[in-house]
Chain A
Amino acid sequence: MSKHHISATVNGDAVEFLCETEDTLLDVLRDQLGLTGTKEGCATGDCGACSVTVDGRLVCSCLMLGVEAKGKSIGTIEGIAQGEALHPLQRKFLEHAALQCGICTPGFLVAAKSLLEKSPDPSETEVRYWLAGNLCRCTGYDKIVRAVLDAAAEMRGA
């Protein structure tokens, strides 16, 4: 069986790749495009480590097929910083020590960025429920939630 030839946009760049029917978007990002910042924690959509945006919508890339990315615009962790400047969320994660091992961090950042685009002034509860699909086993979430709230405040100019 021949592979599928797919054209898509990843972090603003046009990309082309060949994939098998069963390859997930996560497989494609990691194995075909070399974007290993997106992590696989479970491959069943339960941990959020593979969070990306597809046409602006937050999804688990392990739950979407590579062929479904055709013509879509994908956003990954590698596209969050702008040149030398870290995104405010990235800076706040560092300042608040909101990561320990760091494996879940890309997924949290992608998910949190997606939250702040929809809701620039979220409550603590809103942050906790929005991020409930992202598992972190190291931090107990305390510093992650604080970092997101602080980044939101900074981005609002508060």
Chain B
Amino acid sequence: MQEKVKDAPLAEFKYVGTRPVRPDGVDKVTGRAKFGADLAMPGQLVGRVLRSPHPHARIKSIDATAALKLPGVKAVVTRDDFKDQPSEFIPAGEMMINYRDVVRSVMAREKALYEGHPVAAVAATTASVAKQALRLIKVDYEVLPHVIDVVEAMRPGAPLLHEDMVTAGVEPAPKTFSNIAKRIEFTIGDIDAGFKQADLIVERSFTTKPVHQGYIEPHACIASVSEDGQADVWVSTQGHWIVRAHCARLLGWDVSKVRVTAAEIGGGFGGKTVVYLEPVALALSRKAGRPVKMVMTREEVFRASGPTSGAHVRVKIGAKKDGRIVAADAELKYQAGAFPGSPVQPGCMCAFAPYDLDNVKVIGFDVVTNRPKVAAYRAPGGPIAEFAVESVIDEIAGKLGLDPIELRLKNAAKQGTKAAYGPKFGPIGLVETLEAAKAHAHWRTPLGKNQGRGVASGFWFNIGGETAVSLSLNEDGTLSLTAGTPDIGGLRASLCMMAAEELSVPLDKIRVQIGDTAQLGYNFLTGGSRSTFSSGMATVEAAREVMKEACKRAAQLWELPQDAVEYKDGAVRPAGPNAGKHTPMTLKDIAGVAGKTGGPIAGYSRINAHGAAPSFATHICDVEIDPETGRALVVRYTAIQDAGRAIHPSYVEGQYQGGVAQGIGWALNEEYIYGADGKLQNPGFLDYRVPVASDLPMIDTVIVEVPNPRHPYGVRGVGETPICPPMAAVANAIASATGVRFTDLPMSPPKVLKALDEARAKGTAKI
């Protein structure tokens, strides 16, 4: 059952909070919608990438002579086609980027750093010619020892990926080189004094495996560069302005030369915030003088696009007998893949964010290994840290004999709490989600045989950022809304609803499109749960500009001062009796006289959207364990989360449900499996098993609404938080069912069975 918990209604809305059919819906149920691989251009060539078969090797030489002689081959590019870049970290949303590494990630230079690392690419008339050409490119490798595991990579003497890398964040600077890119630490209060006050201390170590975002649409693009250097890219991406920036930078072109259009995007979850194929396709197109289409195979997606980090996490928490937490300590080691930049920093910041704590110490390490460079994955860094912390919190509740929800309520962050990571929280909804969990029928329903129940909370920051939206009043009074953040799951619907609410016009009078990079000012990407928040804020501003201009035009016609007219209920009216009697003018009327009163009417909002507010969640999970096979099946799940305000509740619920499903996959099944040879053994959906329909129950949702005062409709981002609680919720449920605490993900049947057998031998198993 879907539920919605509302505060006392703050305002009555006509569209906000309703569930209309999304404007792009029909295209997506009829096969009409054009995704990344669906566009074809006249004369297009097929681009293919040659990838390193070695996890770590020096590239001594590349010889493409034979490939270029093959009939049908039109271009080959290698490292020589991309200029080297200086080493500097630039903030990019929730992650940092360094173009020195981006250029090496797109095309290997000195070394191949993981199996699947691009080494060369060809453009040819057909796919089969391109494949033959790849086989004709001779690469002379000097194979080097590799390192896959994060702890091994940190050991002195481990094979070094970057031979000049010195660990940042350590004083004095180390004199030796290392795979540890960075050490970070932050503390609040006095951790030792905190632990001295504790009646109970629980310390546990956890491991998590890299997991892939698993979007069903592989990366795809078409690039076309004309003889005068005008370039067009059509691509499946979460941020086409980011694609433009990276491509222009890597190719040394003016930004204005590159126009990027966002195709419909078949899932991203953070994984489509970086460039892989686009600069390569552009370089090939420039050389060949023809459009080049590149589409990754699923195997390439697994081997060579970013999963998230695998990690080792140690958590130590001290509490008083009454459940008050007095000290919280964590150490996080995240593998970044081939280049620095794991999400360990947000992981450190998230770890204890749900709690009001006096004494905290968190240390994090960013470690390179011979794996594909990680990419953002839904709340990057958060789920790993929160899995560990929420598991220890559960164990503390159990050992103190306290209800785990009560223990969380006793320590919960609320408005005014100084977050463990620094800032003071504004209005937040963690307590409301915990109260809603306590009140939910799920929490009280008796469990069946071999079943257990777990609860866990979760947090994500959410971001705003650069955003531009335009809204044009058409000559018949309808409206065209152009936003710049790709719509991955209902954004157009939400923007349309907010514009309709502002303007009091029917939804079907507004057509929403995602504009290309030449149509709007710079838009940061769809990520950080920012698109409904930021593009929504800009949409509201643009709508208000249209209304203001409509008032100006009417005032001009009525020969009134502008403040003597107002926009109300879809029409411009005289504001009060002193303004005289004038027939109200609808947007259609205004549009009809726009030409005569000053020209076209449009709103254009260009903002850096400030005031993004965090979203907290509490999840309840029931599992049933098969005592013979060790299979943990999730039999009931309830996700409760603060949305600030749900513009389109169905798509908010969808975010909760989708995050839960990915989290359950992370908890129970999904993992990158490497052999001793440093090669990925499961690069396909058969062996990298994401949850399917028969693995899951219905996922109940409760939308809590604690409005964000910094957004015109109270919106908080909702997309990322839902993946934070599930791993701990599942682990806590398994612990409750079996009596065994699991600390290594995934909790796959063989692992559960082995632990159960050990516990049975010791007499500690519950089943």
List chain A positions with a Cβ less than 8 A from chain B. Answer: 20, 22, 30-31, 35-44, 46-47, 49, 76-78, 80-81, 86, 90, 93-97, 99-106, 109, 124-125, 127-129, 131-146
Contacts and interface: CB of A to CB of B under 8 A. Distances in A.
Nearest to A38: B31
B21 A90 contact: no
A97 B684 contact: no
Question: Range of interface residues on chain B?
Answer: 35 or more
Nearest to B34: A36
A128 B603 CA distance: 46
B556 interface: no
A30 B33 CA distance: 13
Contact of A90 (B24, B29, B695): B29
A141 B33 contact: no
B187 interface: no
Given A100-B489, A137-B267, A94 B216 contact: no
B26 interface: yes
Contacts of B566: none
B30 A141 contact: no
Interface of B: 19, 21-22, 24-26, 28-35, 37-38, 40, 128, 213-218, 264-269, 295, 297-298, 488-490, 648, 650-651, 653-654, 657-662, 684-686, 690-696, 698-699
Contacts of B264: 101-103
Among A46, A80, A101: residue with most chain B CB under 10 A: A101
A139 B654 contact: yes
B657 A139 contact: yes
Chain A to chain B: the 4 pairs with minimum beta-carbon distance, closest first: A37-B31, A103-B266, A100-B489, A102-B28
6 contacts: A20-B128, A36-B31, A86-B30, A100-B658, A131-B692, A139-B661
A115 B128 CA distance: 37
A64 to B, nearest CB: 18
A35 B22 CA distance: 23
A40 B218 contact: yes
B690 A137 contact: yes
B269 A137 contact: yes
Contacts of B653: 97, 142-143
B692 A132 contact: yes
B34 A137 contact: no
A136 B691 CA distance: 9
Nearest to B269: A137
Nearest to A110: B31
Given A129-B693, A141-B692, 16 more contacts: A31-B40, A36-B31, A41-B218, A41-B685, A44-B686, A49-B216, A90-B30, A94-B25, A99-B29, A102-B264, A104-B266, A128-B696, A135-B692, A137-B213, A139-B657, A143-B654
A27 to B, nearest CB: 9
A33 B641 CA distance: 45
A70 to B, nearest CB: 22
Contact of B217 (A20, A30, A103, A141): A103
A102 to B, nearest CB: 3
Nearest to B656: A140
Nearest to B268: A101
A109 B25 CA distance: 13
A127 B693 contact: yes
A101 B686 contact: no
Contacts of B22: 94, 97
Nearest to B648: A97
Given A40-B37, A137-B214, A97 B19 contact: yes
A58 to B, nearest CB: 15
Contact of A93 (B29, B32, B690): B29
A139 B488 CA distance: 12
A124 B269 CA distance: 28
Contact of B31 (A41, A106, A127): A106
B377 to A, nearest CB: 11
A47 B216 contact: yes
A95 B94 CA distance: 34
A37 B31 CA distance: 4
A102 B33 contact: yes
A49 B28 CA distance: 13
Most B Cβ at <10 Å: residue of A35, A39, A86, A102: A102
A77 B38 CA distance: 14
Contact of A101 (B29, B31, B32, B488): B488
Contacts of A100: 267, 488-490, 651, 654, 658
A99 to B, nearest CB: 6
A20 B214 CA distance: 31
B686 A46 contact: yes
- Of B37, B650, B685, B699, most buried by chain A (CB within 10 Å of CB) is B685
A33 to B, nearest CB: 12
Contacts of A30: 37-38
Contacts of B40: 31
